[in-house]
């Protein structure tokens, strides 16, 4: 790396990862959804959202590196960015263990910057420990409906990061479908009258992208009358990077409660 990088992140969890790796001094842009950690990001310019990036503002920042994600960002946006940014880092973790490859990607890209290797090694060790804790005991299989939206109700396909997080404690997400590598099918819409809803063991109401609250518990209970319904921290269960290990520990505590 011949000169100091100018990094822009268009993914909230990747922005948090950059800071955790000690790369905040080189972070010159973020989305409005990149809010953690607040103190480190307060002075970093916002350039729109994950789906509506302001390309003119991004160009003005003259980034050398832009971090994107297959699920979070639009393909046409990424293709436009490639026209004026020399390094576009595409990420697509699909399971908790994929964070190890993500860390390797960050190290290989920013290896010349101080502290990156050691910080990544620490995060990798924490993740391996959290994965081992989940694998250390047998978990009874539970049928789980993980809701991310309402009006309409939306959930997650089994090949998403969230569903594969849940699998670490024996929780199988429903419906029993895979959504493919990209696209809306990864987040199925429910009609509310599917026969399998009567057999769900747990309904998890995420705090994001829709912020479910206590008032939604009766609605979810009516959807799945036999299920245990709980509010859960969506950031811990869906953000990769530095939240992966704490997310696994949080999930294990949920399963044991």
Residue predicted with more confidence, 3 or 149 = 149
- Split into its structural domains, the chain has a count of 2
Tell me, yes or no, whether 15 and 109 share the same domain: yes
Tell me, yes or no, whether 86 and 156 share the same domain: no
Residues 201 and 188: their CA atoms lie apart, in Å, by 19
Structural domain contains residue 2: no
Tell me, yes or no, whether 156 and 249 share the same domain: yes
pTM of the model: 0.95
What is the arithmetic mean of pLDDT over 189-204?
97
* Domain end residue (candidates: 116, 133, 150): 133
- Domain residues for the domain of 74 are 7-133
pLDDT at 3 over 90: no
Tell me which DSSP letter residue 25 carries: G
Half-sphere exposure of 144 (CA within 13 A, CB side): 30
Whole-number average pLDDT of the chain: 97
pLDDT at 12 over 80: yes
Query: Which domain CATH number covers 46?
Result: 3.40.50.1980
Structural domain contains residue 1: no
Structural domain contains residue 151: yes
Tell me, yes or no, whether 110 and 221 share the same domain: no
Tell me, yes or no, whether 119 and 200 share the same domain: no
Could you tell me which of 241, 242, 28, 5 has the C-alpha nearest to residue 112? 5
Burial of 221 from C-beta contacts in 10 A (0-12 / 13-18 / 19+) = middle
Structural domain contains residue 128: yes
pLDDT recorded at residue 1: 59
Alpha-carbon distance values, 56 to 41, 119, 222 (Å): 21, 33, 47
What is the arithmetic mean of pLDDT over 197-207?
98
């Amino acid at each position: 790396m011949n000169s100091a990088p100018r990094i822009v992140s268009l993914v909230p969890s990747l922005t948090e990862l950059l800071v955790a790796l000690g790369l905040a001094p080189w972070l010159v842009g973020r989305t409005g959804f990149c809010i953690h950690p607040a103190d480190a990001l307060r002075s970093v310019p916002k350039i729109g959202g994950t789906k509506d990036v302001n390309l003119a503002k991004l160009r003005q920042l003259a980034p050398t590196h832009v971090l994107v994600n297959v699920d979070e960002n639009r393909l046409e946006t990424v293709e436009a960015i490639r026209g004026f940014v020399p390094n576009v880092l595409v990420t697509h973790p699909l399971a908790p263990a994929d964070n190890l490859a993500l860390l390797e990607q960050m190290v290989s890209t920013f290896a010349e910057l101080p502290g990156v290797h050691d910080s990544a090694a620490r995060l990798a060790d924490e993740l391996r420990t959290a994965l081992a804790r989940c694998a250390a005991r047998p978990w009874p299989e539970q049928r789980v409906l993980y809701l991310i939206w309402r009006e309409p109700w939306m959930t997650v396909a089994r090949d998403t990061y969230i569903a594969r997080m849940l699998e670490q404690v024996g929780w199988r997400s429903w419906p029993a479908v895979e959504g493919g590598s990209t696209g809306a099918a990864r987040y199925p819409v429910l009609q509310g009258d599917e026969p399998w809803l009567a057999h769900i063991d747990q309904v998890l109401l995420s705090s994001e992208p829709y912020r479910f609250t206590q008032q939604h518990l009766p609605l979810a209970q009516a959807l799945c009358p036999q299920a245990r319904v709980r509010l859960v921290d969506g950031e811990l269960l869906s953000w990769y990077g530095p939240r992966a290990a704490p997310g696994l520990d949080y999930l294990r505590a949920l399963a044991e409660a």
